Chains A and B, each alone.
Chain A
Amino acid sequence: MSATRRAAVVGVYTTEQGKRLGRTKVSLELEAIKGALADAGLAHTDVDGLSPLLAEPWSKTHMYWAEQLGERPITYIGTGQGEGAVAKAAGAISAGTCNVALAWVAHAGGGNAPGSKAVPTAAPRMPDFHWEIQGAYMTPLYALWAQRYMHEFGVSSEDLAQVAVIHRDHAVLNPDSVMGRKGPVTVEDVVSSRMVADPLHLLDCSIENDGGYALVLAAEDIAKDCRNTAVWVLGGAEATATDVYQTFNNPWFPEEGKSVRRCTDMAFDIAGVSRSEIDVANLYDCFTITMLRNLEEMGFCKIGEGADYVREGHTKLGGSMPCNTDGGLLSNSHNGNPSGMSVIEVVRQLRGECGERQVPGARIGLALGQGGSVHGLASTVVLAHD
Chain B
Amino acid sequence: MTAPYLKPLPQVSEENRPFWEGLSEREFRGPRCRSCGQFGWVPYPACRNCFSTDLEWVTLSGRGVIYSYSVVHRGPAAFAGDVPYVVVMVELEEQPQPMIVLGQLDDCPLDQVRIGLPVSVTFHNIPGEDVTLYRFAPSTPVGSSGGD
Residue tally, chain B, CB below 8 Å to A: 48
B98: chain A residues within 8 A (beta carbon)? 250
B141 shortest CB reach to chain A, Å: 23
Q: Assuming A135-B82, A198-B71, is B10 touching A114 (CB within 8 A)?
A: no
List the 10 shortest-distance A-B pairs measured between CB atoms, nearest first: A143-B70, A148-B68, A117-B77, A117-B76, A198-B71, A114-B76, A129-B42, A126-B8, A144-B68, A128-B16
Interface positions of B (Cβ within 8 A of A): 4-13, 15-16, 19-20, 41-43, 48, 67-80, 82, 85, 87, 89, 91, 97-100, 102-104, 115, 126, 129, 133
Please state if B76 and A132 are interface contacts (CB–CB under 8 Å).
Answer: yes
Which of B13, B67, B85 contacts A128, CB < 8 Å?
B13
Which of A121, A148, A200 contacts B115, CB < 8 Å?
A148
- How far is B75's CA from A140's CA once the two chains are assembled, in angstroms? 9
Q: Can you identify 15 A-B contacts, CB atoms within 8 angstroms?
A: A114-B76, A120-B77, A123-B8, A125-B9, A127-B10, A133-B8, A134-B103, A139-B74, A143-B87, A148-B67, A148-B68, A148-B89, A196-B74, A197-B71, A198-B72
Q: Assuming A135-B104, A145-B68, is B87 touching A115 (CB within 8 A)?
A: no
A121: chain B residues within 8 A (beta carbon)? 6
Residue tally, chain A, CB below 8 Å to B: 44
B68 shortest CB reach to chain A, Å: 4
A124: chain B residues within 8 A (beta carbon)? 8-9
B73 shortest CB reach to chain A, Å: 5
- How far is B9's CA from A247's CA once the two chains are assembled, in angstroms? 18
Interface positions of A (Cβ within 8 A of B): 114-115, 117-137, 139-140, 143-145, 147-148, 151, 194-200, 242, 246-250
Nearest neighbor of A202 in chain B, beta-carbon distance? B74
- How far is B85's CA from A126's CA once the two chains are assembled, in angstroms? 21
- How far is B89's CA from A249's CA once the two chains are assembled, in angstroms? 12
